[in-house]
Amino acid sequence: MTTHSRARRALLTFVSAFALAAAPAAVATAAPATATAVPAAPATVAAAAPTAVSGAVVTAKKKAKPRYQTKVRTVLYTSARGSKKRATVPADYTVKAVSTKKKNGRIQVVHRGKRAWVQASKVSRVSPATKLGTMSWGGSAKKNIKRWCKGVPVEVNKADRNFASASGNGAWELIELSRVAFGEKLDANHPMAVAIQYHECGHILQYRAYDYDFVALKRAMNKVYPKGAHPGIEHMADCISDVMGAKRSGNLSGGRTYIAGYGGDCSKKQLRAAKRIIAGKRL
């Protein structure tokens, strides 16, 4: 569904639709200086005598332990070399490390009070202030689209509703994403969820490329996707998501498959157009 007004400060909103195919037949449809110090004039300073403080104890600030965050669903092992599992954690899961030293390509960490080992290639070092445990759904979504839509607020719902909005003058932008799909919880890093996140981020990039001029945007998108089964603005958001690396079809639980998108495959011409929009250029 698309809603808009011709007024310059119109609210631009596009709602995504996705299809779920229950293999092999039935199909159900749902709506990333140098500073130079200048010396001061010479001066003579009289040093004050040290003041003794009765009972005072000076302690050094304890250095924070390094923290690592998983890039993908990852196994934590009980030892540096063995294959025995301590636990399996999802992507975007933060753990505290014992140290940064590696042994057999693994880093020793602490998980739920017990020491474990994680493959170094499966994690990235993050700020010591990063919250331990699983990142929020919205946090993972923001991380996934940070490369293109950094700073765009992301709201999460359970109403199976996904859309991108912006004010007509670009003063504010918003992406709303559903953490459920067809009545089931959807992991923020599932390929289907990521495809949706990329699609909605693609709308934000469309808005920006056309300076939030909905009429000009609609005309240009329909021109590159003429006489399509769906609005050009939606199909081109799919093409943008393809360029970003989306996987618009795949598997869900229970042996079912999903297909995300509006207009099917993107032509070479449409993919070139998508790259221009990502670069902030009009077609």
pLDDT tens, residue by residue, 131-153:
999 999 999 999 999 999 999 99
Q: Is residue 225 located within the same domain as residue 88?
A: no
What CATH number should be reported for the domain holding residue 82? 2.30.30.40
What was the pLDDT predicted at 19?
Answer: 43
Total of domains in the chain: 2
Q: Is the pLDDT of residue 15 over 60?
A: no
Q: Assess if residue 214 is contained within a domain.
A: yes
Give the per-residue pLDDT at 183. Answer: 82
Q: Please check whether residue 149 lies inside any domain of the structure.
A: yes
Q: Is residue 56 part of a domain?
A: no
User: Which of 92, 108, 127 marks a domain boundary?
Assistant: 127
Closest CA to 238 of 226, 246, 250: 246
pLDDT digits (tens, 9 = 90+) for 186-234: 999 999 999 999 999 999 999 999 999 999 999 999 999 998 889 999 9
Is residue 219 located within the same domain as residue 96?
Answer: no
Q: What is the dihedral sign for C-alpha 184, 190, 195, 200? A: positive
| Residue range of the domain that includes 95 | 67-127
Would residue 43 count as lying in a domain? no
19 and 122, same domain (yes or no): no
Task: Decide which of 75, 94, 127 is a domain's last residue.
Answer: 127
**Residue 201 within a domain:** yes
Q: Is residue 190 part of a domain?
A: yes
Same-domain pairing of 192 and 88 = no
Neighbours of 185 (CB within 10 A): 11
Same domain as 141, residue 19? yes
* Structure confidence at residue 261 as a pLDDT band (50, 70, 90): confident
Lowest mean pLDDT among 120-124, 244-248, 261-265: 261-265
Same domain (yes/no): 99, 229: no
Same domain, 95 and 224: no
Together in a domain, 256 and 234: yes
Task: Tell me what pLDDT residue 17 has.
Answer: 46
Domain-terminating residue out of 105, 127, 149? 127
**Residue 212 within a domain:** yes
User: pTM of the predicted model, to two decimals?
Assistant: 0.78
Q: Are 208 and 249 within one domain?
A: yes
Q: Is residue 197 part of a domain?
A: yes
Both 146 and 246 in one domain: the answer is yes
Q: Which residues pair with 14 in a beta bridge?
A: 2, 164
Q: Which two tokens stand for residue 77?
A: 């092992």
Q: Where are the beta strands (DSSP E) in the chain?
A: 2-3, 12-15, 18-21, 27-30, 67-70, 74-77, 85-89, 93-103, 106-111, 114-119, 123-126, 133-134, 154-157, 163-166, 173-178, 180-181, 184-185, 249-251, 257-260
